Amino acid sequence: MLKKLKDFLRAEIDPAFAKRAEIIFQYIEKYKSKRILDAGCGRGFYLYGINSYKFVKEIHGIDINEKYLKIAKNINQDKRVKIKKSNIYKLPYENNSFDLIICSEVLEHLKDDKKALKELHRVLKPNGKLIITVPNLNFPFFWDPLNWFLMHFFNKHINKNIWWLAGIWADHERLYNKNDLKKIIKQTGFKIIKVKEIIHWCWPFSHFILYGIGKNLVEKMNLNEFNRFNFKSNKLLSRIIAYFFRLPSKIFDEKIKLSNSVNLLLLAIKNKQTN
């Protein structure tokens, strides 16, 4: 991976986000895709990272959140980057338009994930690659102990609209187990290449610390040192804290493998014979 991108991710405090991004950039480097779509680009982190690769000719991003799109356009001044407001159910592109599509942490927010996947299938070229990440239904106890306890003993979880306390369920319609994710991917015309589990070990209450408290402090108090969309600072303090949050995963993920994980990352291909 490029040094520039490694430096960005070393300062990323959320170990799950950092690991997802690392793998996504590795796949982009592997396949040398020329035309890429980030479906649900948010504030444009992946768009900014992808424009580091000279082999990419066009980088497209779509989202429905105008506030996020404004930030994405501000940080992405490269002429190859084209950002539009669009609904994922009806993309403003012709059939077979893209070599690679990223859809990271998006499907869980949608009412109709199958409809969205069919639309992504339509605009992906035959033999094109699709990279998806979603939150794992089988997440580690320490990541979100409160929801884990409620789900395992009462078949309930905290309301998704209580964003500061909802943990892994914040703004989410669903979480995915591995088999259900693979099933819906196959049903929408893709062939699965690989499924990866991301982050098995973490500090207790990681999600609440990172997002319930941390994200709110960063945004409300304008703490740019910890803002992942601030690409100009060397972020020394952020790197130190990021290293601390990565420690459990760094030490134990390979030595003591668990069946649960924070995220699932799936790589799929559009079969040649499909439209």
Between 257 and 243, whose confidence is greater? 243
Residue 16 has pLDDT above 70, yes or no: yes
pLDDT given at position 66: 96
pLDDT given at position 162: 93
Q: What angle do CA 100, 29, 46 make, to 5 degrees?
A: 60
pLDDT given at position 196: 97
Mean pLDDT taken over the chain: 95
Residue 275 has pLDDT above 50, yes or no: no
Average pLDDT over residues 206-213: 94
**27 in Cβ contact with 48 (< 8 Å):** no
User: Of the candidates 63, 2, 75, which has an alpha carbon nearest to the alpha carbon of residue 227?
Assistant: 75
Where do we find the tokens 């490029």? 2
pLDDT given at position 232: 73
User: Of the candidates 127, 104, 99, which has an alpha carbon nearest to the alpha carbon of residue 43?
Assistant: 104
Residue 217 has pLDDT above 60, yes or no: yes
Average pLDDT over residues 33-46: 97
The domains of the chain, with CATH numbers, are: 3-270 (3.40.50.150)
What pLDDT band is residue 158 in, cutting at 50, 70 and 90? very high
Residue 244 has pLDDT above 50, yes or no: yes
In angstroms, the CA 238 to CA 271 distance is 42
Residue 26 has pLDDT above 70, yes or no: yes
pLDDT given at position 233: 67
pLDDT given at position 146: 97
- What are the CA-CA distances from residue 261 to residues 57, 143, 249 (Å)? 35, 9, 10
Write the DSSP symbol of residue 189: T
User: Of the candidates 90, 42, 84, which has an alpha carbon nearest to the alpha carbon of residue 67?
Assistant: 42
In angstroms, the CA 119 to CA 89 distance is 6
Instruction: Give residue-wise pLDDT tens across range 127-141.
Output: 999 999 999 999 999
Residue 241 has pLDDT above 70, yes or no: yes
Average pLDDT over residues 230-247: 89
Residue 40 has pLDDT above 80, yes or no: yes
Residue 272 has pLDDT above 80, yes or no: no
What pLDDT band is residue 273 in, cutting at 50, 70 and 90? low
Instruction: Give residue-wise pLDDT tens across range 97-138.
Output: 999 999 999 999 999 999 999 999 999 999 999 999 999 999
